[in-house]
Amino acid sequence: MLKQYLSAGYPILAVKTCEPERAEKELLWELFNAQYENGTQPYHCHSWDIVNDIRQWGVIDSDNGTRQLSYSSVQGGRTQEDDMLPPEIFPLKWLSRQESNTVLFVWNYHKFLVPHAIHTIQSLQNFRDEWKQCQKALVMLVPDIEVVTELDKSITIIDFDLPDKAKIVGVLEELAEGNNITVSNGQKENLSNTAMGLTLFEAENAFALSFSHEHNTFDPRVVMEQKAQMVKKNATLEYSHFEETFDSIGGLENLKQFSSRIIQSPLSRGVLLLGIPGVGKSMLAKALGNEAGIPTLSLDLGRVFGSLVGQSEGKIREATRIIDAMAPCILFCDEINPGLLAA
């Protein structure tokens, strides 16, 4: 992913991720492996954050014959002039002094890319063409970013995906091995599916919390409860626990059968229930999650709309990201008329 952008001479990249450590290591391995396997010109990889300053990355051979990432602090990298600079400008100046094929990963740099940060904006504009010519790159590791107008054509955004099932299973197997228990393939499938959408850090914590010493196994219900924390942190979504079932609803037999049938189809995406108040529309939606045995999320459209430009769109993007992570699930949107009229 990153190698292609660097080969094409992209000087400023923003990698959107809520796992900066994992993203940095995977991208470093991509660059180092290209050097070892294809014999390409080596990249000089460094990272910066406001606490640890500049660190240099490399690869060492371990005792068991495998290669491992290793870092060390850069000594003597600062000048007296550097000490006078704002902390966010120093890594940009430092990168400009380095040799060709230098890549600098900077953590949480979105905090410095605000509309009034003219020194940061101007510095990036000044260094952009120089970095491109010398095959240097600034790679920002950010959870989210709103690119200011002045840099809109200079910064390229890359999405770093959440861990796939294989990585989730790897975390589970490591925990199981550490606790000397055997996890069947069926349990691995169930637990990994439940944990999809979590970061590796979240998945490891959820698995550890779900481990029962009494039964010597992992409980997927606990993992799902921890997964629901994502919903609790989002103001527009609510993890709903409804008591209704199809038995609670009188009539609507055809609609019950239709709903049960489509919820099992991967092609189905939703149902719009339109009718006068009091005929069971909301009750059916609440009961469907219990009938299907999957979580139900409620979306409050009234909380979606914000006062600032782009705020509503950002809330919708975040909500859909969480909904995708919670899949399979039911999304319940009640009383959508006022929300659509407000839009």
Residue 220: per-residue pLDDT: 85
d(CA 62, CA 70): 10
One domain for residues 136 and 42: yes
One domain for residues 290 and 318: yes
Contact 329, 295 (CB under 8 A): yes
d(CA 308, CA 146): 13
pLDDT tens digits, one per residue of 28-80:
999 998 877 776 668 999 999 999 999 999 988 877 778 889 888 887 667 78
Q: Is the pLDDT of residue 282 over 60?
A: yes
What is the number of structural domains in the chain?
3
pLDDT tens digits, one per residue of 283-334:
888 888 888 777 888 887 777 776 555 667 778 887 887 788 777 788 888 7
One domain for residues 56 and 191: no
pLDDT tens digits, one per residue of 238-257:
877 778 888 888 888 888 88
91-105, 200-214, 325-339: which has the highest mean pLDDT? 91-105
Domain containing residue 82: 2-159
CATH number at residue 52: 3.40.50
Burial status of residue 96 (CB atoms within 10 A of its CB: 0-12, 13-18, 19 or more): middle
E strand or H helix that includes residue 167: helix 165-178
One domain for residues 249 and 266: yes
One domain for residues 213 and 274: no
One domain for residues 41 and 83: yes
One domain for residues 256 and 323: yes
One domain for residues 221 and 258: no
Average pLDDT over residues 110-118: 93
Residue 284: per-residue pLDDT: 84
Tokens for 52?
């640890």
d(CA 104, CA 212): 43
Residue 62: per-residue pLDDT: 76
Tokens for 306?
């914000």
Instruction: Indicate if the alpha-carbon torsion angle 117, 122, 123, 128 is positive or negative.
Output: positive
3-state SS, residue 107? strand
Tokens for 178?
């550490």
Angle at 231 between CA 140 and CA 22, to 5 degrees: 30
One domain for residues 130 and 211: no
Going by C-beta distance under 8 Å and a sequence separation of 6 or more, which residues neighbour residue 270? 331
d(CA 162, CA 22): 10
* 68 bridge partner residues: 60
Average pLDDT over residues 105-131: 95
User: What is the average pLDDT value for the chain, to the nearest integer?
Assistant: 86
E strand or H helix that includes residue 60: strand 53-61
Going by C-beta distance under 8 Å and a sequence separation of 6 or more, which residues neighbour residue 81? none
One domain for residues 216 and 109: no
Q: What is the pTM of this model?
A: 0.80
One domain for residues 282 and 317: yes
One domain for residues 317 and 195: no
d(CA 274, CA 49): 53
E strand or H helix that includes residue 50: none
